[in-house]
A and B are shown apart, each in its own frame.
Chain A
Amino acid sequence: MKSLYTLASVLGILFGALTIASGLIWLERRLLALWQDRYGPNRVGPFGLLQVLADMIKIFFKEDWIPPFADRVLFVIAPALTVVTVLMSFAVLPVTSRIVVARLNIGLLFFLGMSSLGVYSVVLAGWSSNNKYSLLGALRAAAQMFGYEVFMGLSLTGVVLQAGSFDLVQIVEAQRHLWFIVPQFLGFVLFLIAGLAEMRRIPFDLPEAESELVAGYHSEYSGMKFGMFFVGEYLGVVLISSLVAVLFLGGWQGPLLPPLIWFLLKIFVLIAFFILVRASLPRPRFDQLMSMGWKVMLPLSLANVLVTGAIVLANRS
């Protein structure tokens, strides 16, 4: 019975995450259009919702081309790796108190580990493409991940200190009276920025900066392999949004509405915010990006850890 329930929640989360991620193709285009005074795709099906289906059919029927100069094995593995690492993180994500695949007592660390592994897919893709632009994109991705991974972990330390656990379910339980966005506002902002950089989305999409590097690390990819990077990116958006919701916005908790609805509502608001960021902000120069990561964000998150730690200690004694 228990294993059946686990199986159901695994399939449910997998299906839910992939559905939301593919729905984002449509949502992102509609929202970007909204903020650019346009309509966006609205012709295929109701509100243009079937655009997702049309895009999927199109991308499946495209030629799946592996360049002769590419390293075939790595070239094929890299896009799969993107999706796998992100999907692994969904395993520890508590959608509600009962819908969670694996309740690990180190859930947060597992997520950080998986998101660090995610950079391998980009680096391998850039390397195996055997193309200078791809390699430059991969190098940028690696440097960017180093810079932003560090303070991503540190920005979450405040939450962990206050909740007293790495277990995501317990972290949500600890926010019963006050969401962590209030005491950990700096941590929230830092994690949001680090999350954006982690997803490699505008304004942190320097690894694929199409105006400088063709398409960066996925220049040589086409067809469904490119589609995997695409799906991986959107899954990343869903993941980071859900994590922000879990860590800072009280997860499934909220009055009146059922927990699942609250959770989806919070994710949706955060996803819309990420798309708004994409609609409004330009891409920084790479040295600006790096210096901001190391010289501003890292000290700020260290200070956040210091102050939070001091307050937690003072409260305890």
Chain B
Amino acid sequence: MFSIVRTLWLVFLHTFRKRVTVQYPDQKAYLAPRWRGRIILSRDPDGGERCVACYLCAVACPVDCIALQATEDQTGRRYPEFFRINFSRCIFCGYCEEACPTYAIQLTPDFEMSEYRRPNMVYEKEDLLISGVGKYPGYNFWRVAGVAIGGKEKGQAERESGPVDLRTLLP
């Protein structure tokens, strides 16, 4: 009997508590920088695409929502001809980001991507590509990779010595 009255009183005291509701559209919740939301493709500091179309993200994707086709420009630099993510399938697991060797594909703190028509959930490369570097400023895959592309020969990358002529080592 006493416990019932006590319960009533304790519940009544909740009148003066702070509300826990976040009034969403007016008042947005804090999203951490590493929050796994809408997927983007970033660019390196020079403005070139980071993606080298290695297909690792498409392989890592557990729901097969990433489709791309690799191609090369005249200088031998690989890039995706098309890059398509079907966000109606995507589960935002972040495996693509983990698999990416060039920090190109990244998940961002944004989840407000509802659509009225399902086909609109399919994002093409121009929808995915952003102009910035995303979470990794200053990183440029081609500047540290030992591959020769247009404008950069072997041995010209950062912290890389020139190629060794094996014949000079012969006794």
* Closest 5 pairs between A and B when the two form their complex, measured CB to CB: A280-B11, A280-B7, A35-B14, A37-B20, A39-B21
Contacts of A276 in B (CB 8 A): 8, 11-12
**Could you pull out 29 A-B pairs where Cβ atoms are within 8 angstroms?**
A34-B14, A34-B15, A35-B11, A35-B12, A35-B14, A35-B15, A36-B14, A37-B14, A37-B17, A37-B18, A37-B19, A37-B20, A38-B19, A38-B20, A38-B21, A39-B19, A39-B21, A39-B23, A276-B8, A276-B11, A276-B12, A277-B8, A279-B11, A280-B7, A280-B8, A280-B10, A281-B4, A281-B7, A281-B8
Of all chain B residues, the one with the shortest Cβ separation from A296 is B1
By DSSP majority rule, is chain A's interface helix, strand, loop, or mixed? helix
A binding-site residues for B, Cβ under 8 Å: 34-39, 276-277, 279-281
Task: A279 to B8: give the CA distance in the assembly, Å.
Answer: 8
Tell me, rounded to whole Å, the shortest Cβ–Cβ distance linking A45 to chain B: 16
Most buried by B among A36, A39, A280: A280
Q: How far is the CA of A36 from the CA of B14 in the complex (A)?
A: 7
CB distance from A293 to the nearest CB of B (A): 15
Contacts of B18 in A (CB 8 A): 37
* Min distance, Cβ B109 to any Cβ of chain A, angstroms: 25
Chain A nearest CB from B18 CB (Å) reads 7
Within residues 1 to 48 of chain B, which ones have a CB less than 8 A from any CB in chain A?
Answer: 4, 7-8, 10-12, 14-15, 17-21, 23
The chain A residue sitting closest to B18, CB to CB, is A37
Task: Tell me the bound Cα distance from A116 to B4 in angstroms.
Answer: 28
Q: How far is the CA of A279 from the CA of B14 in the complex (A)?
A: 11
Q: Which of B85-126 contact A (CB under 8 A)?
A: none
Q: Which residues of B contact A35 (CB under 8 A)?
A: 11-12, 14-15
Output the nearest chain A residue to B7 by Cβ-Cβ distance.
A280
List, in ascending order, chain A residues with CB within 8 A of B8's CB.
Answer: 276-277, 280-281
A residues less than 8 Å from B19 (CB atoms): 37-39
Across-interface contacts of B4 in A (CB, < 8 A): 281
Give Cα A38–Cα B4 distance, bound, in whole angstroms.
23
Query: Cα distance A181–B14 when bound, in Å?
Result: 27
- Known A37-B20, A276-B12, A281-B8; 18 more pairs at CB < 8 Å: A34-B14, A35-B11, A35-B14, A35-B15, A36-B14, A38-B19, A38-B20, A38-B21, A39-B19, A39-B21, A39-B23, A276-B8, A277-B8, A280-B7, A280-B10, A280-B11, A281-B4, A281-B7
